Structure formats: structure tokens, C-alpha cells
Amino acid sequence: MFQIRFSILILRYAFLISKKSISTAYVYNNLVFEDIIIRPNNDRFIQAMGTNNIDEMISNMNNVLETVTSSVVDEIEEIKSEIRNCNAKISMMTGSGTAVFGIFDSEIDLK
């Protein structure tokens, strides 16, 4: 168990949502757990949160549901690519649906 001391961490982020949708039930019913190669490291993520280390937080983020959703909604990879092309530190889906976010170093890149 970790003790977390919260302090202010300023993040610049953007959310984009595809016009297409997908049900959460579909995503979970089609997720093959044996095929998941890269999983998020929650312990390291929590430790990084405690020290406000955004780069370490990002290096331990991963959405295992993206493989299912992006195989049905082709716009997901396009949206992620557009966000990365704007110098985002990371671009990934927020959950099982079609919302994608990016985290940026500067407001200039964000705009």
C-alpha cells in the first residue's frame, strides 16, 4: 500500500470524441485477456502521482481496451495520431468508448 501526498499538478489536456460510438458491453465482451501484452503499471503510476512526476505517470499509462475499440472505430487511431502530431506527451482513449485525450507540455501545443 502507498501513502499519497497530494499537491498541485498542472496538466494541459484536450479531449476529442469520435462521431462514432461503441457500447462498453461490446468492448468488454470482445476483450481477449490472453492477448494483452502491455498493461498499465498502477503501482508505479501511483508512486509517480505522489511525486508529481508526470513523465513517470505517462510512461505507466496504457488502455488495454483500445485494441477492441480501435478495431471497430477506425477514427480512434486517426484522432490519437492528430493529437500526437500536436506534440502531446501522450494520446490515448479515456476508457472503453471513443473519447481520446492528450496531455501537453505547453498551452501553445494545446491550441
Q: What is the pLDDT of residues 47-97, one digit of tens each?
A: 998 888 889 999 999 999 999 999 999 899 999 999 999 999 999 999 998
72 near 25, Cβ under 8 Å? no
Query: What spatial distance separates the first Cα and last Cα of the chain, rounded to whole Å?
Result: 39
pLDDT at 110: 67
Q: How far apart are CA 52 and CA 5, in angstroms?
A: 10
pTM of the model: 0.79
Q: Are 61 and 40 in contact (CB under 8 A)?
A: yes
User: Which DSSP symbol is given to 53?
Assistant: -
Residue, of 18 and 6, whose pLDDT is higher:
18
What's the CA dihedral at 107, 101, 41, 32 to 10 degrees?
-160
- Residues sharing a CB contact under 8 Å with residue 12, sequence separation 6 or more, in sequence order: 103, 104, 105, 106, 107, 109, 110
